[in-house]
Amino acid sequence: MFKIVTIPGDGIGSEVVASAVQVIKALEEKHGLEIEIEEHLFGGASYDVHGEMLTEETLEACKNCDAVLLGAVGGPKWENLPHEKKPEAALLRIRKELGLFANFRPAKVYDALVNASSLKSEILSGTDFMVIRELTGGIYFGQPRGYDEEKGWNTMVYEKYEVERIARLAFETAMKREKRLVSIDKANVLECSQFWRNIVHEVHKDFPEVELSDMYVDNAAMQVVRDPKQFDVIVTKNLFGDILSDISGMITGSLGMLPSASIGSKHALYEPIHGSAPDIAGRNKANPIATIASVAMMFEHSFSMQHIADDIYTAIEKTLESGLRTADIANPGDSVASTEEITDAITASLEVS
């Protein structure tokens, strides 16, 4: 039996998580699985009830399950809170508490959506790469940090073990794909990046079959847009990965399409990369595909059931090929489907596959 903690969070989070739960229940029945689902508050929804974004109850539940599924966090309602009280601070804390040191973000273009991007189809067609971002080190967590009326300061720091473990995971991932890894840094101006590069090359000695190359982050941002097909696996530090993964996601057409997995040695959290979209919350307009694809990543990474993950990806592809589109991926003149319609179509495809 598997235990999943769902955290709808804020905005459209409750809608897309409900879609994902519908898919999970369909898979449970189809494959004879036993899955316990337990829902908890997090983010602004938790603050409104408990006065804090992340309660000890929610944190303990996340530590005592097989996987966590998160919808979305934040919104204008909580923007004026002190920095340490904001939803984003709670998200950083839960990643740290669960030891989620690696974030996986696939940048894959579905054939049915090759014209949904602002890039030309001939540049985009065939794009399929993975961005692996270090998640618990770097400038987001380095000390000292702070600001006063005259200046603000943050510290970018990495310890050897932090770089080693993310590099090893990236090489292992590349071994399962096309055996090509690009490490992104800024070693020409940052000592921390030169340290990163040195350690990545040390770990490379254990993976001689993988082709390793280095790329400066500014060039990488350009190359992702210029020629995305050149990449197979990208590994980079926290700050650079935050930026590059969003660029990589957006070239595929919509952030509403893209899942992510945050992995640690004991725990894992899955979530769509889009935000809480308060402007469409409660209107049955949200694209649930990123969250449903996050469930596919859950079955792949946490439950080691690749065949079920493939079932989900196939159902998504069939739904897109049928022409169903939420507003974020619709072309002018397309009939726009609701969150429920997309979810029902994916569920129906799963049931007959």
Burial of 19 (0-12, 13-18, 19+ CB in 10 A): buried
Instruction: Answer yes or no: 227 catalytic.
Output: no
Q: Which residue has the tokens 């530090």?
A: 237
Q: Which residue has tokens 């997090």?
A: 42
Catalytic residue among 218, 227, 279, 334: 218
140 is catalytic: yes
Residue 149, φ and ψ in degrees, nearest 5: -70, -20
Separation of alpha carbons 99 and 120, rounded Å: 39
Alpha helices, H only, 227-288: 238-250
Active-site residue, from 140, 232, 237, 318: 140
Burial bucket for residue 111 (CB in 10 Å: 0-12, 13-18, 19+): exposed
Is-catalytic flag, 242? yes
Active-site position among 66, 128, 214, 246:
246
Paired residues of 2 in beta bridges:
35
Please identify which of the residues 66, 128, 214, 242 carries the catalytic annotation: 242
| Cβ atoms within 10 Å, residue 165 | 16
Let me know if 93 is exposed, middle or buried by CB neighbors in 10 A (0-12, 13-18, 19+). middle
Looking at residue 35, its amino acid is I
Report phi then psi at 107, rounded to 5. -120, 90
Beta bridge partners of 235: 132, 183
Q: Which of 86, 186, 237, 285 is catalytic?
A: 186
Burial (0-12, 13-18, 19+ Cβ within 10 Å), 149: exposed
As a whole number of angstroms, the distance between CA 217 and CA 192 comes to 14
CB 101 within 8 A of CB 165: yes
- Contacts of residue 189, defined as CB under 8 A and 6 or more positions apart, other chains included, come to none
Closest CA to 233 of 169, 173, 294, 293: 173
Active site residue 206: no
Other Cβ atoms less than 10 A from the Cβ of 294: the count is 26
Residue 246 annotated in active site? yes
Residues 96, 131 contacting (CB under 8 angstroms): no
Active-site residue numbers?
A: 140, 186, 218, 242, 246
